Amino acid sequence: MAGFQHEQVFRGKEAMAKLAARELHICGAGALGSNLLVNLARSGFHKITIIDKDRVEEQNLGTQVYALEDVGAQKAVLLRNQIFRDLGESINAFAEELSERNIGKLLKNAGLVIDTFDNSKSRRLLSEYCKEKSIDCLHLGVNDSYGEVKWNDRYLVPSDAGLDLCDYPLARNLIMMVVAVGSEALVNFVLTAKKRNFSITLGDLAINEELD
């Protein structure tokens, strides 16, 4: 735990052991998913699986963790290599599209799933599967200047905006705010079993918790 000394001083050894032992499946390796995975790995989560079929494009570089030399490579594989190179930790990577055909295989034995997909079809598939299988699922999403962190029982799958994925508005600062809030919501759940839901707005720098 030497590389996580500051986090351990803040949370305690028992908490860090719980984070290290908890398995996560992150679905989506784009702006939210790539930043979230790196943040969680550096926060003490060790058992992580990343699922994404996409390859890096140059327009991804502003909001995602990839470098110019990564353009054309598979995002999931790059993240696996980055975490091993940076932290010495091995994670699982599936460079596949999540579908009705393979979702049972890719989420086999999953206990905690995080949805960071950029399309409604994949989000709906994941949400319905997790409800059917009683799997805890946290959704992170952004739209223009709004972001949300919602557990499956509070989550509403958005309608497709019909925008080109290269052209829709996306602010890096909003991404990082949603990732930070989502990361803490996950840590809080693992340590306390409490599910906390949040909305984030960039215009007024507001983070609001949705209370029961």
Ramachandran area for residue 88 (φ above 0: left; ψ -120 to 50: alpha; else beta): left
Q: Are 145 and 202 in contact (CB under 8 A)?
A: yes
pLDDT at 169: 81
The yes-or-no verdict on residue 159 having pLDDT over 90 is no
The CATH number assigned to the domain holding 120 equals 3.40.50.720
- pLDDT, tens digit (0-9, with 9 covering 90-100), for 61-82: 999 999 999 999 999 999 999 9
- pLDDT, tens digit (0-9, with 9 covering 90-100), for 32-50: 999 999 999 999 999 999 9
When pLDDT is cut at 50, 70 and 90, the band that residue 2 belongs to is low
Strand partners, 136: 112
pTM of the model: 0.95
End-to-end Cα spacing for the chain? 36
Averaged over 128-145, what is the pLDDT? 96
Six token digits for residue 78: 């790059």
Lowest-pLDDT range of 2-6, 60-64, 104-108, 195-199: 2-6
- Domains of the chain: total: 1
Q: Are 71 and 88 in contact (CB under 8 A)?
A: no
Q: How far apart are CA 31 and CA 33, in angstroms?
A: 6
What φ, ψ does residue 168 adopt, rounded to 5°?
-70, 150
What is the pLDDT of the chain when averaged over all its residues? 94
Altogether, the residues listed in the chain come to a count of 212
Domain of 179? 2-210
pLDDT at 164: 47
- Helix runs in the chain, H state only: 5-11, 13-21, 31-43, 75-87, 103-106, 120-133, 172-192
Averaged over 84-103, what is the pLDDT? 96
Apex 119 CA angle, 122 and 107, nearest 5: 25
